[in-house]
Structure 1
Amino acid sequence: MLVYKDLIPISNGSDLRFVPLQSEIIDRNRLIWSSRVQLSNIANLFLKLMRKSIKKEN
């Protein structure tokens, strides 16, 4: 299974392991939403967490 790091919580007792690939994978996904639509609380929280994560990486 190929997933983004930290997408699936892995505990110490889990049989799952995160093993980074040797060559860097660059993912140019875009997150787009309509500014005319009022977002739900969970959507606002998602955007807030995404912005925080992006700032941490840069």
Structure 2
Amino acid sequence: MEIGNLEKDFDGRLLIRGNTKHAMRLTTFGTRVAATAQLCAGQLGDLHGPRHKPKAMPR
């Protein structure tokens, strides 16, 4: 899914777009969405079989 579609669905900017001198980075809202998505992914567990385990979240 394209980022623009996600931003429309979430009704907020997720990224600050970069250019040749600056990389893209998450907005405050994007950071919150990403953290929540990681928590949800951890709670869902392994949906793709034993070869695709979620990465451990840093504490």
Which of 1 and 2 has greater Rg? Answer: 1
Q: Which has the higher helix share?
A: 2
Q: Which has the higher strand share?
A: 2
TM-score by structure 1 length? 0.38
TM-score by structure 2 length? 0.37
Structure of greater relative contact order (alpha carbons < 8 Å, 6+ residues apart): 2
